[in-house]
């Protein structure tokens, strides 16, 4: 069935891992008739968590789509991962969604994951509903959970529910404040109406009056009516709440249990009644054909435009997930990829339900679907009608902050790893990999250790290659601190023409990082035609220092004397003589090891400042300053040796309960302290022995 934009809602489920997002999505799909059974995460049979890794780990790793058809509307539910290593999936879902449901557990209230989800939504000005899950489980406490929300967001919270407890304080039903009705869940999750308990009538009246006050504040006309003592009609209540949700002054709170179905239908009703449709969603910015940034206005009757917000590759091919922003899409339609400027033809179109793809003949404005057999498409591409090309702003993925070296357990499978990582990188834009020629390692950079563990599993299961992770080597440098003069002499007689080269070299600290080669030969002691050979010998030699084999920088090398043989001298002989001089002279020039230093910017709540700064001091970091970042956060600026940052992403998460974030970029090389030099030299020697 095809739905118009007014009857579509795109909502993403956000929150901490384990708070019940996937179970809630399953409950919505099941009670709306979209599946014949209620899937269970422990049983591994949910519609949204279909990847073998998700089933094995019992967590969501990728965002999946569950289209829920309910009361004449289509709700595209985007179930996102709650674990921070998979935050890139959340960024993608936020790009496609027009509203969010932040899921908090009745056992923990406003958890770190919910806090971060709230921040993501606030930055993007996304309307949101708060949903308190697991209200009927042991050790749950709805009142305590709601109190944490009230403390955090104050009067902006608009509770639409009042739980009904039994004698053991277990939630057995809920009161729908807006409709002034009470419900309990039937054996199959159906909504059964019950009488409002006598002891809850006063609570209902109080909550309804509070809602009326919130509605009154959404417009002057409503305010006049409220102070005039008039009651609002149901339509006016919904209109006011909807306006408050859209302008981000109201955040409705609901609750329930995904397992029993309690509260699920009420949530579905709230999504349809209170959350914006795709045409009413937040404005997007796009670059037009002239390279100017304009606001993009979504409109059903406009020329077709769609955004690729996610890519999924499997053994059957590649799916590019689309959100239609204007017009409608049909298979074989000619389009232009705004990133490349190249014309293309749309492939087959599908509606996704977990891993199941159902082919459709058209995708309407505001809807979410997928297209296949378009190998050139990448996440972040904008597909346009050739008559109006616009390039929408890319998805703001988090910077990779955790790096590990990856290698095959069986030698000779490096190409298979590279091919697998390239395919996986298409799906997950939060990790990148490089083949580092200097350290002779394949290095993968991403968000954390759990992401890396999943990458290893997928390499094995999808691409048949067993890989292992290790600490990446640090790219040190070497330099000298004093001047030396040394002779390099190469003489070899083998019968017939021999080999003869003789140079006197001066090595001293230079100004430039690059090798500075000079010649100051007097009287033709070394003919000019051998100068290039001497320079070539030096450029090869400085790739390997004498301390630990790292490249030498800031070196000035001057050829100032030497001798030659009219018959036996050659370019090769002078090149060899130069390298002999290098090996003989550099150890006497006070060589030292330089380590890479990075600029670190850590954003943490005030309460963790002491722990974070103390930890930076242990890492030989220099704190340069602190700046307030708003909302109780501080940004600490520091310079830290890269050798000390290997596990920082994991350690910071542990120190701040996941609330901290950071960026880290190389700035320069500095002389390493003696203890760090000894450690690095010993490691380099051990590695050299291993390579041999």
Helix, strand, or coil (residue 584): helix
Residue 523: which CATH number? 3.30.230.10
Residue 236: which CATH number? 3.40.50.300
Residue 185 bridge partners (DSSP): 191
Same domain, 200 and 67: yes
Which of 170-179, 451-460, 508-517 shows the lowest mean pLDDT across its residues? 170-179
In-domain check, residue 470? no
- CA-closest candidate to residue 97, choices 143, 61, 63: 63
Q: Which of 208, 243, 274 is the last residue of a domain?
A: 274
Structural contact between residues 123 and 90, judged by C-beta atoms closer than 8 angstroms: no
- CA distance linking residue 209 with residue 194, whole number of Å: 22
In-domain check, residue 690? no
pLDDT of residue 225: 86
- CA distance linking residue 48 with residue 22, whole number of Å: 7
Model confidence over 598-649: pLDDT tens digits? Answer: 999 999 999 999 999 999 999 999 999 999 987 788 999 999 999 999 999 9
Residue 469's H or E segment, with its range, is strand 467-470
pLDDT of residue 316: 66
Same domain, 160 and 83: yes
In-domain check, residue 410? yes
Residue 596 bridge partners (DSSP): 669
Helix, strand, or coil (residue 61): coil
Tell me the mean pLDDT in the region 275-279: 94
In the predicted structure, residue 527 carries a pLDDT above the cut 80: yes
pLDDT of residue 495: 65
- In the numeric block, the tokens 């090869």 are attached to 540
pLDDT of residue 545: 93
Same domain, 127 and 190: yes
Same domain, 110 and 165: yes
Same domain, 584 and 638: no
- CA distance linking residue 77 with residue 93, whole number of Å: 10
Tell me the mean pLDDT in the region 17-35: 92
pLDDT of residue 254: 95
pLDDT band at 126 (very low <50, low <70, confident <90, very high): very high
* Beta strand residue intervals within 50-98, DSSP E: 64-70, 73-79
635 or 217: which leads in pLDDT: 635
In-domain check, residue 472? no
Residue 292: which CATH number? 2.40.30.10
Model confidence over 359-369: pLDDT tens digits? Answer: 999 999 999 99
Same domain, 105 and 159: yes
Residue 658: which CATH number? 3.30.70.240
Tell me the mean pLDDT in the region 444-463: 93
Same domain, 164 and 184: yes
Structural contact between residues 95 and 89, judged by C-beta atoms closer than 8 angstroms: no
pLDDT of residue 496: 66
pLDDT of residue 411: 87
Same domain, 332 and 348: yes
Q: Which of 274, 292, 316 is the last residue of a domain?
A: 274
In the predicted structure, residue 669 carries a pLDDT above the cut 80: yes
Same domain, 236 and 324: no
In-domain check, residue 14? yes
In-domain check, residue 194? yes
- CA distance linking residue 292 with residue 274, whole number of Å: 34
Give residues with Cβ within 8 angstroms of 678, minimum separation 6: none
In the predicted structure, residue 234 carries a pLDDT above the cut 60: yes
Tell me the mean pLDDT in the region 73-82: 96
Same domain, 582 and 490: yes
Tell me the mean pLDDT in the region 143-148: 89
pLDDT band at 315 (very low <50, low <70, confident <90, very high): low
Same domain, 266 and 333: no
pLDDT of residue 216: 87
Residue 470 bridge partners (DSSP): 405
- CA distance linking residue 681 with residue 275, whole number of Å: 61
Q: Are strands 349-353 and 368-372 parallel, antiparallel or unpaired?
A: antiparallel
Structural contact between residues 175 and 142, judged by C-beta atoms closer than 8 angstroms: no
Q: Which of 570, 589, 608 is the last residue of a domain?
A: 589
Give me the domain span that covers residue 614.
593-685
In the predicted structure, residue 120 carries a pLDDT above the cut 90: yes
* Domain total of the chain: 5
Same domain, 24 and 115: yes
In-domain check, residue 146? yes
- CA distance linking residue 562 with residue 578, whole number of Å: 10
In the predicted structure, residue 289 carries a pLDDT above the cut 80: no
Q: What mean pLDDT is reported for the chain?
A: 91
In-domain check, residue 692? no
Structural contact between residues 389 and 281, judged by C-beta atoms closer than 8 angstroms: no
pLDDT of residue 502: 95
pLDDT of residue 329: 95
Model confidence over 648-661: pLDDT tens digits? Answer: 999 999 999 999 99
């Amino acid at each position: 069935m095809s739905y118009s934009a007014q009857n579509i809602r795109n909502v993403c489920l956000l929150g901490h891992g384990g708070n019940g997002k996937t179970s809630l999505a399953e409950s919505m799909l099941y009670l709306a008739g979209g599946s014949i059974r209620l899937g269970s995460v422990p049983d591994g049979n949910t519609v949204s968590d279909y990847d073998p890794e998700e089933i094995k780990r019992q967590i969501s790793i990728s965002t999946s789509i569950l289209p829920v058809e309910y009361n004449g509307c289509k709700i595209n539910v985007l179930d996102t991962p709650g674990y921070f290593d998979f935050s890139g999936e959340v960024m993608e879902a936020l790009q496609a969604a027009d509203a969010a449901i932040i899921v908090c557990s009745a056992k923990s209230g406003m958890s770190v994951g919910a806090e971060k989800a709230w921040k993501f939504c606030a930055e993007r000005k996304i309307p949101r509903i708060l949903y308190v899950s697991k209200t009927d489980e042991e050790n749950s406490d709805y009142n305590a959970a709601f109190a944490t929300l009230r403390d955090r967001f104050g009067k902006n919270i608009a509770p639409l529910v009042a739980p009904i407890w039994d004698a053991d304080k277990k939630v057995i039903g809920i009161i729908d404040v807006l409709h002034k009705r009470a419900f309990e869940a039937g054996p199959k999750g159906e909504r059964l109406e019950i009488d409002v308990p006598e002891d809850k009538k006063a609570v209902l009246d109080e909550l309804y009056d509070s809602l009326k006050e919130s509605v009154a504040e959404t417009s002057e006309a409503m305010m006049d009516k409220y102070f005039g003592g008039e009651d609002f009609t149901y339509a006016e209540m919904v209109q006011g709440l909807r306006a408050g949700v859209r302008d981000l002054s109201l955040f409705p709170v609901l609750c329930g249990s995904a397992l029993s179905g309690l509260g699920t239908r009420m949530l579905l009703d709230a999504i349809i009644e209170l959350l914006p449709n795709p045409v009413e969603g937040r404005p997007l910015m796009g670059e037009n054909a002239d390279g100017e940034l304009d606001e993009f206005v979504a409109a059903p009757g406009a020329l077709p435009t769609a955004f690729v917000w996610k890519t999924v590759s499997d053994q059957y091919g590649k799916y590019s997930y689309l959100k239609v922003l204007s017009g409608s899409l049909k298979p074989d339609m000619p389009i232009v990829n705004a990133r490349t400027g190249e014309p293309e033809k749309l492939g087959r179109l599908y509606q996704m339900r977990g891993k199941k793809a159902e082919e459709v003949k058209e995708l309407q404005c505001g809807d979410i679907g997928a297209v296949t057999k378009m190998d050139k498409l990448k996440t972040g591409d904008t597909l346009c009608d050739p008559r109006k090309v616009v390039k929408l702003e890319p998805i703001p993925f988090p910077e990779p902050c955790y790096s590990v070296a990856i290698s095959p357990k069986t030698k000779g499978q490096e190409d298979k790893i590279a091919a697998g990582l390239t395919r996986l990188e298409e799906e997950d834009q939060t990790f990148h990999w490089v083949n580092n020629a200097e350290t002779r390692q394949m290095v993968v950079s991403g968000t954390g250790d759990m992401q890396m563990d999943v990458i290893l599993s997928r390499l094995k299961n999808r691409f048949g290659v067993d890989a292992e992770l290790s600490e990446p080597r640090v790219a040190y440098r070497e330099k000298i601190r004093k001047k030396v003069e040394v002779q390099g002499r190469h003489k070899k007689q083998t019968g017939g023409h021999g080999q003869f080269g003789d140079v006197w070299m001066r090595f001293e600290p230079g100004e430039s990082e690059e090798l500075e080669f000079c010649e100051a030969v007097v009287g033709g002691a070394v003919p000019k035609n051998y100068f290039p050979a001497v320079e070539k010998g030096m450029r090869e030699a400085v790739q390997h220092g004498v301390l630990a084999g790292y490249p030498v920088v800031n070196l000035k090398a001057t050829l100032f004397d030497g001798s030659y043989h009219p018959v036996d001298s050659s370019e090769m002989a002078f090149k060899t003589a130069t390298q002999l001089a290098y090996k003989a002279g550099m150890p006497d020039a006070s060589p030292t090891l330089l380590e890479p230093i990075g600029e670190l910017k850590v954003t943490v709540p005030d309460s963790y400042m002491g722990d974070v700064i103390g930890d930076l001091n242990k890492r030989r970091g220099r704190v340069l300053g602190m700046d307030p970042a708003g909302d109780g956060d501080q940004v600490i600026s520091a310079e830290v040796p890269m050798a000390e940052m290997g596990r920082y992403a994991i350690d910071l998460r542990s120190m701040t309960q996941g609330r901290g974030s950071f960026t880290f970029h190389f700035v320069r090389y500095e002389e390493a302290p003696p203890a760090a030099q000894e450690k690095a030299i010993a490691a380099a020697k051990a590695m050299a022995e291993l390579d041999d």
